[in-house]
Amino acid sequence: MKASESVVGIILAGGLARRMGGGDKCLLPLAGKTLLQRTIDRAQPQVEQLLLNANGNSLRFARTRLPVVPDAYPNNLGPLAGIHAGFTWMQAKAPKAEWLVSFASDTPFFPADLVENLLTAAQTSSSKLVVAVSKLRVHPVFALWHISLKEQIEAQLDGGEAPRLQEWMTAQKPTQVDFNADVYDPFFNINTPQDLYAAEPMSALVK
């Protein structure tokens, strides 16, 4: 089931991947596909338009055929800068869209009904920010953001520094949506070569 046309998706791939030795972590292979392609395959059916937030030469992502939106702010200020880039694209290219949903590029097993559940929670709670949770752990990159948050994010980034994403979100008192993690953790995050190795058998369990 596709989400409302009012939702644009953005894959955040602007990180420095220090624990993986640098470079584009999302282009590493996992069971025959790159982490990025796995993320695209799960995210694209859930939104009307999917973006990729990444800095540097966009040609390295040409195969994805996604619009690549870089940070407007220098010095790699983190995920909030990626959210801001998505909002800027929305205002220019999809002015009727109200919501931006964010996906991590290194967490390839996230739920296929993520957007549907986040959007339902937003509509029932009148919240401007909704975030995914599993096993009592908050996953701040997997969140639904209302366009009205753009000015507040700009005010934060204009200072040249950004807090940790979870700290910023906690201050906004977001609505939380709990996702089942009994069989496997759908928000298993690949940060190290060991994580990539551990993810191989998990990939067979994902539906």
pTM of the model: 0.93
DSSP string across 70-89: --SSSS---HHHHHHHHHHH
Mean pLDDT of 113-117: 97
Model confidence pLDDT, tens digit, residues 136-188 = 999 999 999 999 999 999 999 998 888 899 999 999 999 999 999 998 899 99
pLDDT score, position 23: 62
pLDDT score, position 18: 44
Asked whether the beta carbons of 11 and 39 are under 8 A apart, the reply is yes
Model confidence pLDDT, tens digit, residues 51-96 = 999 998 999 999 999 999 999 999 889 999 999 999 999 999 999 9
Q: Where are the domains of the chain?
A: 7-203
pLDDT score, position 206: 82
- CATH of the domain spanning 7-203, picked from 3.50.50.60, 3.30.1490.190, 2.140.10.10, 3.90.550.10: 3.90.550.10
- Distance between CA 24 and CA 16 in Å, rounded? 8
User: Residue 21 above 60 pLDDT?
Assistant: no
